[in-house]
Amino acid sequence: MRNTAAFANFVTMPTIIDAPGYYLTRGGERVLITKCTGAHSFGCTGTYSNGTLEAWHKSGRLYFGMQTVNDIVAKA
């Protein structure tokens, strides 16, 4: 039951990634989002400045249930 409640909080987080473009991570790195989705999946994809591919939730979170320096927090 605890995971269900935690996921409900995750789903209600504000949308940060709403369109392709440049965004900033919690750690200050600039990333380019090339595809985004409004679904509650990790379907917003893009690359870091070094070319590494990654996928985020539309809330900007990289992982469920924890914050990281690579979470997207704002548009650049």
> Which pLDDT does position 24 carry in this prediction?
98
Judge whether residue 48 has pLDDT over 80: yes
pLDDT score for 47: 98
Q: Quick one: pLDDT at residue 1?
A: 43
Ramachandran bin of 51, using left for φ above 0, alpha for ψ from -120 to 50, beta for the remaining angles? left
- The mean predicted confidence, pLDDT, of the chain is 89
Asked whether residue 62 carries a pLDDT value surpassing 80, the answer given is: yes
| pLDDT computed for residue 66 by the predictor | 87
Region 41-45: mean pLDDT is 90
What is the domain range of residue 7?
Answer: 2-75
Domain count, the chain: 1
